[in-house]
Amino acid sequence: MAITFEEQWDEGGEVEGLSPDTYEKTLRYYAHCTDNETYSDVRTAAKAELPTKYFNLVRTSVAVPRRVTFDTVFEVILDFRHPGVPGWAAPSFVDDIKLTISSSGESGQTMKFSKEAQQVFPGSTAPVDLDEDHKRAIKVDKHGEVEGWPVDSTSMIVEVETIKSGDVVTPRYLIDCAKSRGKVNEYTYRGFPRGSLRLISFSAVEQVNPGTSTATDEVDAPSWTLKFAFDFRPEETGKIKMKPYEGASVEVDYRREGHWLLDVFSSPSKAEVNLPPGSGSTAIHYHYPVIRHALIHRLYDYEDFETLLQI
């Protein structure tokens, strides 16, 4: 296979430089072939042999839109873009990967205990810090049950975009990817620890213009653009102060993988609080929760994303 490239000069020849406000550039070439090469052959050769940079611009795509003559000359188009332009790094070749990180706010997480709390009551001159875990319970009913309160939580979205050959993207591959929605990573994936990534969306778009060999009339397998979005939740470690039904309170260490659920159980206990003079009463009785134990739940199935997705 022998392919040579000739730059087209429709735009008046090569320039000596680019102005500071130039963010995009397109270069066109003729690909001269001698051995019945296909579109795929020309794309592979163009990727390897043609420039990857044009002054301060970075090559973002290589296209082979048409044959100029029946079987010997193809047109090749290179697009370059400034790295500062959003979206400049979109994948252009098979196995290229674009990783995007974004943050979004979502509601619905119920918090039962706060990190810090202060108490005010009739006759108090300043808020009183509550240092004990059970006193920082949120929305406790008259029986001492903790109802909690829905709060906004921030999640990080990790998007992986790539292009895969049609030899890889089979119907079985597409079905397996779709079935993995909702699963979490069983092993470290692209630097993110086990259990921290949950697949929330998947799309696959077949690319157009597969090449055809004039010698064998064989159609090249079309490539696919694949996009995967993951919800990232970091691992959490900490301490919970618990009081057994018998004995003194103890602090218990815990570790929760990103998408596991920490559920704290409490039982009501009755307390009497003495009020200062002039408050209209000498004491009040109320129920407050005492943390007895906690459960850490795994909610989702695991998946080996590196093996499944092959990226």
- The helix (run of H) or strand (run of E) holding residue 240 is strand 236-242
The answer to whether 162 touches 95, Cβ cutoff 8 Å, is yes
Backbone angles phi, psi at 131, to 5 degrees: -90, -20
> What integer pLDDT is reported at residue 230 of this predicted model?
92
Place of tokens 């597409």: 174
> What is the residue-level pLDDT of the chain in tens, covering all 311 positions?
688 898 887 554 444 555 555 678 889 999 998 877 888 888 888 888 898 888 878 777 788 888 887 678 888 988 887 765 555 455 655 666 677 777 765 545 677 777 677 766 566 667 777 776 667 777 776 666 676 776 655 578 888 888 888 888 888 999 999 999 989 999 998 888 999 999 999 998 887 544 443 344 444 567 888 999 998 988 888 888 787 777 787 888 888 888 888 777 777 776 655 555 555 555 656 666 777 777 788 888 999 999 898 88
> What integer pLDDT is reported at residue 302 of this predicted model?
93
Name the CA radius of gyration of the chain, rounded: 31
Q: Enter the pTM of the model.
A: 0.56
The answer to whether 161 touches 270, Cβ cutoff 8 Å, is no
Strand partners, 150: 110
CA dihedral 247, 251, 253, 257 (to 10 degrees): 100
> What integer pLDDT is reported at residue 214 of this predicted model?
39
Give the long-range contacts of residues 172-175, CB within 8 A, separation 24 or more: 174/204
> What integer pLDDT is reported at residue 299 of this predicted model?
83
Q: How far apart are CA 223 and CA 209, in angstroms?
A: 10
